[in-house]
C-alpha cells in the first residue's frame, strides 16, 4: 500500500491522518489536545516544544496502526497544515525564541485601534485583501516591537504553526503562499509587500519572514532525529503545506473557481475559490492565496456556527444537555427528533447569530452586534428556539455568499454542523441548492495530503489529487416546497438585522454610561 500523511495542527488539537494514496481511504489516524499557556486573560500562548511533542505522538501512533495493518506500506510524502496567524519565532540557533502566540490572542487590539484611527485600514485591505485582526503576525509583531523589544532582538525567523512543524521534521525554514497571505502580503502580486510593512511601521518584519514557496514544493526530508521521534522513515519528503482554510477547502473538494465550502464548527466560515482576487465586500473578511494561481475569498461570522447549540445546551436546554451527558439521548437524536418536528420558520421565531464577543464579522463588521431572538410568544418552546438558531446560521450563510460577487455553483459543507441531517437540510433549503458533505471529516488533513501527493508527482495536479482523495458522503437536496417560505424568512432576517443596528449602538452607549462614574 502507498500512503500519504496529512497533519492538521489546529488551535486546540493536532490530528494526523494516514490516507491510501490510490483511493482516499483513511487507514489510520490519531489526535492529541494541544496544551496552552493561557495565564493572562486575553492571551493565548503555546510552548513550542510541547506542541512538537503532540505532533510527534500523533505521527507515531498513526504509523503504528498503519504498520499493524500493512508492515510494508510505503509513505510517499508528508504534508502539514495549520491554523493561520499567530507569532511563531526562532532564534539564531533554531530554538524557540519564546512561547508561540496564538491567532486568538487579543493583546494587540490597541495596535489595531491605532491603525484604524490613523486611517490605515482601507489601504491595508486594498493591498493585502484582509480585514486585520489582533492575532495576525504583523499586528503581534508591532505589539512586541513596542512592548517587548528585547524579545525581538533574539528573533531571526518569524513564521506560522505548520512551518514550525515542518522545521522540526526537516530542519528547513520555509513557508507557503497561503500562510504568507495572512501576514499579510500583496494579494495581487502574491509576494511580500514592503509598502505594507512600511505603512504599518514594521519594516523589520520583512527580513525575518522565510521564503514563500508553492504549497506542493518539497522543502526537505525527514531527518534522522525526527524519524526517531515520529516513526516516519528517514528521508521521507515533506512539502511546504497549507494554511488550514485553504487545506479545508481542498479536502472538501472546493478547489475549482466557483466551488465553495462552508464550515460549521466553533467558528463559521464561508469560502469560495476564485481565479482572480475578489476583495468585495470591501473591508470585510479575508483573501488567501491558493495553489495553481487561485485565490480564496472568506467570510467568517465568528459568532455563528455551533456556538448557538453550545449556548442552548448550557443556558436554555439544560434538561436536554443533562440527558445527553447521561447517555439517555444524543445531540443528533435531539436535532432529528423534537427540533426536527418544529416546522420551518420555527413557529415565527427568528434568531440573529451574533454570539461572539467580537460582534458581527461577516458579511458586515459591527463590533456592537449581539445575538437575539424575536417573535416569541407564551406558546414558544425551547425547541422552537433551537430550530431558530439553526435557521439563523443558515440565513447568515446565505447572506455571506450573496455579499460576494462570485458565481458560486457548488457548495461543500464540513464541520460539526454538517453531521446533522436537519441542519444540512435547513441550509440546503435556505440556499436553494444542493450541499455536498465529504466522506472524510478531517478535510484539512486530506487537503494537505493532496498537496503532498502533487509534490512527489503521485498526482499530476491538484484537480487529479482532489478527484482521487475526496469523495462525497452525502448530498443534501433542497425541498422545493420550502423555498418560498425560507425566502420570506431570509427577508425578515435581513430587515431585523438592519433594524437592530441602531439598537445595538444604543445598548452599547447605555452600558458604557452605566460603567462611567459620575
Q: Is the dihedral of CA 474, 479, 480, 482 positive or negative?
A: negative
Q: Report the alpha-carbon distance of residue 198 to residue 201 in Å, rounded.
A: 5
344 to 214, 339, 348: CA distances (angstroms) = 46, 10, 9
Backbone angles phi, psi at 342, to 5 degrees: -70, 130
Peptide bond into 184 cis (omega under 30): yes
CB 345 within 8 A of CB 489: yes
- At 515 the pLDDT is 65
> Which residue, 210, 222, 164, 218, is CA-closest to 183?
210
- Write out the DSSP string of 152-199: HTT-SEEE-HHHHHHHHHHS---EEHHHHTTTT-BTTTTB--HHHHHH
Buried b (16+ CB within 10 A) or exposed e, 200-212: bbbeebeebbbeb
C-alpha cell at 434: 444542493
DSSP 265-300: SSSEEEEEEESS---PSTTSSEEEEETTTEEEEEEE
CA 396 – CA 364 distance, rounded (Å): 11
Low-confidence ranges of the chain (pLDDT < 50): 518
Whole-angstrom distance, CA of residue 186 vs CA of residue 194: 9
Give the contacts of 331 (CB within 8 A, at least 6 positions apart). Answer: 309, 324, 420
C-beta neighbour count of 5 within 10 angstroms: 28
d(CA 270, CA 261): 6
The candidate with the shortest Cα–Cα distance to 197, out of 212, 211, 180, 213, is: 180
Domains recognised in the chain with CATH numbers: 2-240 (3.30.420.40), 253-518 (3.30.420.40)
The number of residues making up the chain comes to 518
Contact at 8 Å (CB) between 447 and 81? yes
DSSP assignment letter at 420: -
Picking from 287, 285, 269, the residue whose alpha carbon sits closest to that of residue 277 is: 287
**Per-residue pLDDT tens digits for 357-391:** 788 889 998 989 999 999 999 999 999 999 999 99
246-255 CB burial, b ≥16 within 10 A, e <16 = bbbbbbbbbb
Q: What are phi and psi of 171, to 5 degrees?
A: 80, 5
pLDDT of 129: 97
Rounded to 5°, angle at Cα 193 from 188 and 196: 105
What are the grid coordinates assigned to 120, written together? 490605515
User: Whole-angstrom Cα distance, residue 226 to residue 34?
Assistant: 19
pLDDT (tens digit per residue) in 46-94: 999 999 999 999 999 999 999 999 999 999 999 999 999 999 999 999 9
What cell numbers appear for 208 in the block? 525575518
Q: Residue 287: how many CB atoms within 10 A of its CB? A: 22
CA distance 481 to 117: 50
Among residues 413, 410, 444, 84, which one has the least CA distance to residue 251? 444
Q: Model's pTM, two decimal places? A: 0.93
Strand locations in 329-441, DSSP E? 350-352, 372-374, 410-414, 435-438
Distance CA(518)–CA(507), nearest Å, equals 19
268-274/259-264 β-pairing: antiparallel
Alpha carbon distance 166, 175 (integer Å): 9
| DSSP string computed for 15-59 | EEEEEETTT--EEEEEEEE------STT--EE-HHHHHHHHHHHH
Can you count the helices (H) and strands (E) in the chain?
18, 22
Task: Look at residues 290, 251, 261 and name the one whose alpha carbon lies nearest to residue 442.
Answer: 251
Question: Which residues have a Cβ under 8 Å from the Cβ of 308 and sit 6 or more positions away?
Answer: 351, 353, 355, 371, 389, 390, 392, 393
Encode burial over 352-378: b for 16+ CB neighbours within 10 A, e otherwise: bbbbbebbbbbbbebebbbbbbebbee
Which grid coordinates belong to 114?
491605532
* 3-class DSSP assignment, residue 247: helix
Amino acid at each position: 500500500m502507498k500512503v500519504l500523511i496529512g497533519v492538521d495542527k489546529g488551535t486546540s488539537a493536532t490530528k494526523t491522518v494516514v490516507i491510501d494514496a490510490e483511493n482516499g481511504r483513511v487507514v489510520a489516524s490519531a489526535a492529541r489536545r494541544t496544551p496552552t499557556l493561557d495565564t493572562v486573560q486575553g492571551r493565548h500562548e503555546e510552548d513550542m516544544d510541547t506542541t512538537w511533542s503532540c505532533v510527534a505522538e500523533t505521527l507515531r501512533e498513526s504509523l503504528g496502526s498503519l504498520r499493524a495493518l500493512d508492515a510494508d506500506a510505503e509513505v510517499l510524502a508528508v504534508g502539514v497544515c495549520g491554523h493561520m496567524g499567530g507569532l511563531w519565532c526562532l532564534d539564531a540557533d533554531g530554538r524557540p525564541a519564546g512561547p508561540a502566540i496564538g491567532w486568538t490572542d487579543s493583546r494587540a487590539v490597541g495596535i489595531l485601534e491605532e491603525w484604524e484611527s490613523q486611517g490605515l485600514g482601507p489601504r491595508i485591505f486594498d493591498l493585502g485583501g484582509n480585514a486585520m485582526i489582533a492575532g495576525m503576525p504583523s499586528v503581534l509583531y508591532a505589539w512586541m516591537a513596542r512592548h517587548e523589544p528585547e524579545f525581538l532582538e533574539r528573533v531571526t525567523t518569524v513564521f506560522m504553526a505548520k512551518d514550525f512543524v515542518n522545521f522540526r521534521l526537516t530542519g528547513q525554514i520555509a513557508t507557503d503562499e497561503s500562510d504568507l497571505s495572512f501576514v499579510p502580503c500583496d494579494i495581487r502580486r502574491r509576494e511580500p509587500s514592503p509598502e505594507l510593512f512600511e505603512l504599518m511601521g514594521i519594516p523589520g518584519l520583512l527580513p525575518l519572514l522565510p521564503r514563500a514557496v508553492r504549497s506542493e514544493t518539497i522543502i526537505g526530508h525527514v531527518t534522522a532525529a525526527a524519524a526517531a521521534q515520529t516513526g516516519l522513515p528517514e528521508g521521507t519528503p515533506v512539502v511546504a503545506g497549507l494554511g488550514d482554510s485553504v487545506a479545508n477547502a481542498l479536502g472538501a473538494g472546493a478547489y475549482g473557481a466557483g466551488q465553495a465550502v462552508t464550515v460549521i464548527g466553533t467558528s463559521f466560515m464561508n469560502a469560495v475559490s476564485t481565479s482572480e482576487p475578489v476583495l468585495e465586500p470591501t473591508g470585510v473578511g479575508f483573501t488567501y492565496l491558493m495553489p495553481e494561481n487561485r485565490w480564496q475569498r472568506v467570510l467568517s461570522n465568528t459568532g455563528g456556527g455551533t456556538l448557538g447549540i453550545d449556548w442552548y445546551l448550557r443556558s436554555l436546554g439544560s434538561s436536554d444537555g443533562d440527558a445527553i451527558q447521561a447517555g439517555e439521548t444524543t445531540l443528533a437524536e435531539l436535532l432529528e427528533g423534537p427540533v426536527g418536528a418544529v416546522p420551518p420558520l420555527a413557529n415565527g421565531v427568528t434568531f440573529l447569530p451574533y454570539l461572539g464577543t467580537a460582534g458581527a464579522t461577516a458579511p458586515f463588521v459591527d463590533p456592537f452586534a449581539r445575538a437575539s431572538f424575536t417573535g416569541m410568544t407564551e406558546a414558544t418552546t425551547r425547541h422552537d428556539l433551537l430550530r431558530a438558531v439553526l435557521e439563523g446560521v443558515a440565513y447568515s450563510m446565505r447572506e455571506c455568499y450573496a455579499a460576494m460577487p462570485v458565481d458560486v455553483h457548488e457548495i461543500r459543507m464540513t464541520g460539526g454542523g454538517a453531521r446533522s441531517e436537519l441542519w444540512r437540510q435547513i441550509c440546503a433549503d435556505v440556499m436553494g441548492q444542493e450541499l455536498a458533505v465529504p466522506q472524510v471529516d478531517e478535510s484539512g488533513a486530506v487537503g494537505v495530503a493532496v498537496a503532498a501527493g502533487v509534490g512527489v508527482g503521485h498526482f499530476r495536479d491538484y484537480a487529479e489529487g482532489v478527484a482521487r482523495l475526496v469523495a462525497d458522503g452525502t448530498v443534501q437536496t433542497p425541498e422545493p416546497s420550502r423555498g418560498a417560505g425560507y425566502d420570506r424568512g431570509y427577508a425578515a432576517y435581513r430587515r431585523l438585522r438592519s433594524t437592530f443596528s441602531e439598537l445595538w449602538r444604543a445598548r452599547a452607549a447605555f452600558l458604557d454610561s452605566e460603567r462611567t462614574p459620575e
